[in-house]
Structure formats: structure tokens, C-alpha cells
A and B are shown apart, each in its own frame.
Chain A
Amino acid sequence: MAKNSRNYILDTSAFISLESINLLDKVLHLFFVSTTNSVIEELEEFTRYDDKYGQIAKRVLGKKSKFTIKSAKIIESIKFLEVTDNEFYNLSLKDKSPLVTDETKFVHHTRDKIDVYFSPVFIILLTQSGHLSKEKALPLLEELRNIRNWRSNIIYLTIKNQLENLD
């Protein structure tokens, strides 16, 4: 199956979330995915620890050939964000591509400026497109919720509600 022309920019949190529920391969297969060097450095930093996140980060880095690493000059800066997040934000501005993250602070400061989504967007998208069954989608969301310690937060409740009501 040919790759869809849509490009998504993923940050460290999105890579970790998607790989933790084994959904990253499907996303990389269907879409063009790009990220920044800072994200790669963050993932490499994770691999220094042999914990759950370190192992997931290793698996993400093993798929490096399947996504593009880009750099973006910081032209527009948001003062509440770190330099790495500003680079990420500027890549989205430059490429006019949606950005996927699970960082709520980042989302709060960028939502009016760029298209930004939480990583479960792919659970809904792949279910709606028929690449993932609804029966598998809900347990995946539960798994992600546990890994991310989301409990009954807004992201989990909103996505769960939508998934349950999909045609």
C-alpha cells in the first residue's frame, strides 16, 4: 500500500506513546513522519536508562530510517517553551504540517498557532480508516492510558468517548 501524502511531525512523547502500544510501525507505514534532531537526542538520552522508557526509545531509534529528521531555525519563539520545543514548533510552522505530542504544556501554548494533536489521534484515525479494528482500538487506548498514567484525564475520556461512538 502506498504511503499517504500527509506528513505528521512527532515529538519524543508521541514517539514513546505510539511505540509503547506498537502503533508506530503502522503510522510510519501509512504516513510521512518527520521530527527534529533534538527529539533524537532526547530519545538517545532515554536509552541511557534500562527502564521501560529506555527500552521503548531504543525501539523507536531502531526505526530511524523510516522517518525524516529535519532542522528548523527558530524564527518565532514562544517564551514559555524550551529551545527544543521552540525548534519543534518552528518546524511545524515551516512545513505547515500538524504536530503530534502528548505534552500538555506545549499544546496549551501552541494550539492557536499551529495544528497540534495528541497521539491518540492515530488510534481514532486508523480505526476510522479500517486499519485497526474497534475491538483492538479500545484496549490500545487503555494500555496507553496506563503507560502514560492518564487515569481519567481529559485526553483519555475524550478519545474513549469518540472511539465508542465511531460508526
Chain B
Amino acid sequence: METEQFNIRMPKELLHDLDIISNLLKVNKSEWIKAKLAEEVYEEKNKLLMELSTLYAKGMINKNKVEQLVGKEIADEMESIKIVAQRSAKHGIEYGKKLKKLHS
């Protein structure tokens, strides 16, 4: 995996607590921080994207705004999901009506 250096200043007390965790768990401090950060980033990213997609689904923001905030790739995917969800509903309604006629 490609990596990039990211420096961060932390309170001494927090570093001391990290030492305690590292000693007790017998894990590398950096690896432990990376794992915890990855979990948190994944959760937060999904939560925020879900909130964004809710606003988009409700028509409160448009695709351009989504693109500005999170980039073209995610905006395109959200658009696809919206289109296919609408198509699914349309197909369900239209074909459901046909089926009702067939069976009546």
C-alpha cells in the first residue's frame, strides 16, 4: 500500500496513555493508531456520505454540489443510485398494473 508521511502534534498526556496501551497490548504504537484511525475514518466517511446522499435524494442539493464536496466519482455513483431507484419504482408500478390486469 502506498503511504505518505503525515505529522501530528499530540498532547504529552495522550502520548503517555498511548505508551500504556502499547505496553499492555504489546503492539506497535504507530500501528495501533493507524488501525484505530482507519476504523474511525471509515465510519465517519460512511456516515457523512449517507447524510449527503439523503440530502441529494430529497432534492435539497444537486449533483454539482455533491461533486464540489466529494468529487466526481462519488457524485456519479449517487446519481446512478438515484436513477436506478427511480427506475425500479417506475418498473414496479407499471408492471404491477399490467399484472393486476392479467390476473383480474
Q: How far is the CA of A159 from the CA of B95 in the complex (A)?
A: 15
Q: Are B99 and A4 in contact (CB under 8 A)?
A: yes
Q: How far is the CA of A129 from the CA of B101 in the complex (A)?
A: 8
Which segment of B1-9, B11-19, B29-37, B50-58 sits at the interface?
B50-58
Counting CB contacts under 8 A, is A118 at the interface? yes
Q: Chain B contact residues: over half helix, strand or loop, or mixed?
A: helix
Counting CB contacts under 8 A, is B89 at the interface? yes
Q: Which A residue's beta carbon lies closest to that of B73?
A: A108
Distance from B42 Cβ to chain A, minimum over Cβ atoms (Å): 14
Q: Are A125 and B84 in contact (CB under 8 A)?
A: no
Q: Are B95 and A125 in contact (CB under 8 A)?
A: yes
Q: Are A108 and B81 in contact (CB under 8 A)?
A: yes
Interface residues on A, range: 35 or more
Known A117-B84, A159-B88, A159-B89: A154·B97 in contact at CB below 8 Å? no
Chain B residues close to A by CB (< 8 Å): 50, 53-54, 56-58, 76-78, 80-89, 91-93, 95-97, 99-100, 102-103
Can you spell out 30 A-B residue pairs with CB atoms less than 8 angstroms apart? A4-B99, A30-B99, A105-B77, A108-B77, A108-B81, A116-B84, A117-B84, A117-B88, A118-B84, A118-B85, A120-B88, A121-B88, A121-B91, A124-B93, A125-B92, A125-B99, A127-B92, A128-B95, A129-B95, A129-B97, A129-B99, A130-B100, A152-B50, A153-B50, A153-B54, A153-B57, A154-B82, A158-B88, A159-B88, A162-B92
